[in-house]
Amino acid sequence: MIKSIKVLIVEDDPASLSYLEIILGKESLQYRTATNGEEGLAVFKEYKPHIVLTDINMANMNGIELLAAIKKIQPQTIVIMLTAFNSEDFVIEAMRYGANNYLKKPIFRDNIIGLLRKYKNIILSRNTHIKIQSFVKRHSYTMEISNDIELLPYVINYLIESVELVFKEDECMGIRLGLDEIVINAIEHGNLNISYVEKTQAIKNNTLEKLHESRRNAPENIHKTVTIHFEMNNEYCEWTIKDQGKGFNPSLIPNPILTESAEYLHGRGIFITQFQFDEMEYSENGTKVRLRKNKIR
């Protein structure tokens, strides 16, 4: 069982590195640092961190080259890319190489703390027991969950238990992060009808939990649920997430790389999730999402 999280910071700008060290120190996280890609890879091999924060533009070995090397050595490592404002092509390339998220500079304290706490909870809640589901050739079930986001890590754990021996560790981590993003969207933006602007303001004011509670207890939302259906056969695993919200037009979802402010993290869940699955499809006025991951045959 993992008891503490180790973080590696790879950053060639002294001011940015010092800033990140202060933040991680205040969060009481163990961390090591490196000032370029080659040094970062050497520290990674020795330190074996759970999370890596790496700049993209570095001499000797850039962040994408470091990312590729890390994923080859320890694919389940969570890697967060630190990018300059005009580096959209690099972000897409990094996602294709297995990056789990990205932060645009200037990096805001609340953003980095939010990501670190989220991934820390996910890593610590992994179930490491051996399962017998590798013998199962066909399996399906349906869950109906409330809008209590605090229970979400346990829900995701249950969903992942069904496929832990079907996919590799890095693939399971990608599935875990993708499901987390989509179910959160179904609760927040679907059932609770929280807009991007409302969430932005709540995060800024540190009142997101209060916003969740007030919307969850509103008469029009109190009985709403999210339905998750899982289907596994010899060819693929598929998750269908359905909320009871008003829906939206999926074709109008903006590209977060081109439109989001560096100050805010949310709004990119759909963009990130599409890199974790072989198929992602919206239906029923945007209230239903189908995610499919093909098995390697």
Per-position pLDDT tens, the chain of length 297: 456 899 999 999 999 999 999 999 988 889 999 999 999 999 999 999 999 999 998 888 999 999 999 999 998 899 999 987 566 778 888 888 899 999 988 888 888 998 998 898 888 776 444 445 557 778 899 999 999 998 998 999 999 988 887 888 888 989 999 999 999 999 999 999 998 889 888 988 889 999 999 999 999 999 999 999 999 998 999 999 999 999 988 877 766 655 555 555 555 778 888 889 999 999 999 999 999 999 875
Last residue of a domain, one of 124, 151, 172: 124
Q: Closest Cα to residue 3, out of 70, 50, 52, 54? A: 50
How far apart CA 27 and CA 49 sit, in angstroms, is: 16
- If one counts the domains in the chain, the total is 2
Q: Closest Cα to residue 69, out of 43, 35, 33? A: 43
How far apart CA 65 and CA 168 sit, in angstroms, is: 21
Q: Are residues 169 and 187 in the same domain?
A: yes
Structural domain boundaries enclosing 111:
6-124
Burial status of residue 65 (CB atoms within 10 A of its CB: 0-12, 13-18, 19 or more): middle
Within-domain flag for 147? yes
Predicted pLDDT of residue 51 = 96
Q: Are residues 202 and 138 in the same domain?
A: yes
Buried b (16+ CB within 10 A) or exposed e, 165-203: ebbeebbbbbbbbbbbbbbbbbbbbbbbebeeebbbebb
Within-domain flag for 277? yes
Last residue of a domain, one of 124, 146, 163: 124
Q: Are residues 282 and 138 in the same domain?
A: yes
Q: Are residues 160 and 188 in the same domain?
A: yes
Query: Which tokens is 122 given?
Result: 């996910």
How far apart CA 80 and CA 55 sit, in angstroms, is: 9
Within-domain flag for 181? yes
Contact assessment for residue 123 and residue 77, using Cβ atoms and an 8 Å cutoff: no
Instruction: Indicate the DSSP class of residue 207.
Output: -
Q: Are residues 14 and 137 in the same domain?
A: no
Q: Are residues 110 and 57 in the same domain?
A: yes
- The residues near 219 (Cβ < 8 Å, ≥ 6 apart) are none
CA–chain centroid gap for 123, Å, is 11
Q: Are residues 48 and 152 in the same domain?
A: no
How far apart CA 187 and CA 41 sit, in angstroms, is: 39
Q: Are residues 120 and 147 in the same domain?
A: no
- The residues near 275 (Cβ < 8 Å, ≥ 6 apart) are 95, 96, 174
How far apart CA 265 and CA 211 sit, in angstroms, is: 18
Within-domain flag for 246? yes
Last residue of a domain, one of 64, 92, 124: 124
Within-domain flag for 1? no
Predicted pLDDT of residue 27 = 87
Which residues are registered as beta bridge partners of 82?
A: 55, 103
Within-domain flag for 85? yes
Q: Are residues 146 and 86 in the same domain?
A: no
Burial status of residue 4 (CB atoms within 10 A of its CB: 0-12, 13-18, 19 or more): exposed
CATH of the domain at 42: 3.40.50.2300
- The residues near 132 (Cβ < 8 Å, ≥ 6 apart) are none
Predicted pLDDT of residue 60 = 83
Q: Are residues 117 and 147 in the same domain?
A: no
CATH of the domain at 203: 3.30.565.10
Q: Are residues 161 and 289 in the same domain?
A: yes
CA–chain centroid gap for 65, Å, is 21
Predicted pLDDT of residue 126 = 60
